[in-house]
Amino acid sequence: MNRQTFVTSLHSKSIDIAHISRVSVNAISEDDILYLNDLLLTNGLHQVVVKNMDSGCTIIETFLMCLNKYQWICWLSGSAKNSRHIYDLKDDLKSYGCLNSESMLVYEAYFSEQFYADCLVIECTEKLLQQHWYYYFYKAMCKASIAQRMPIIQLITHQDT
């Protein structure tokens, strides 16, 4: 499965915030704020186009913390998150044995027995999408209908669109 299929197969809403490089009053329009808040409060698989992953992560994390709605935010990325509010999903997948498995049953069991998030952010980097385990993770996530229970935010960089 190619990169574009991963990024758009369950896509329900999209916003391009690539023009925003940092979180400040002058950088974000009122429409962007309202739309991003709506997106973060709506269950489904959503695509957010960002200028670069660092600024995109900062913007999304800032908005999620300001909403103060979610108790268990999971983040799937190539780098560890150092926030007390965000749980690094890759560590959990590793401890459950998913990263070394090519069995859909392992991933399905993970989503039914171990996954307790109420919001998920996925940094759709080339590195992540090329990992062999991501295919199984994504398919099991879709099969478990996770997007019907929570917002799943897929961050992609502007050059990938």
Question: H helices within the chain, ranges in order?
Answer: 3-8, 30-40, 53-67, 89-96, 104-113, 126-129, 132-143
- The mean pLDDT of the chain is 80
Instruction: Specify the pLDDT at position 23.
Output: 44
Cα–Cα distance between 139 and 137 in angstroms, integer?
6
Of residues 11 and 14, which shows the higher confidence score? Answer: 14
Give residue-wise pLDDT tens across range 107-159. 999 999 999 899 999 999 888 988 989 999 999 999 999 999 999 999 988 76
Residue span of the structural domain in which 56 resides = 3-160
Q: What is the mean pLDDT of residues 39-60?
A: 87
Q: What is the mean pLDDT of residues 32-56?
A: 86
Q: What is the percent of the chain with per-residue pLDDT over 70, rounded to a whole number?
A: 76
Could you give the number of structural domains in the chain? 1
- 108 Cβ partners below 8 Å, 6+ apart? 140, 143, 144
Give the chain's largest Cα–Cα span: 48
33: phi then psi, degrees, rounded to nearest 5:
-60, -50
Instruction: Specify the pLDDT at position 112.
Output: 92
Cα–Cα distance between 29 and 8 in angstroms, integer?
25
For 68, left (φ over 0), alpha (ψ -120 to 50), or beta? left
Of residues 145 and 79, which shows the higher confidence score? Answer: 145
Is this prediction's pTM over 0.85?
no
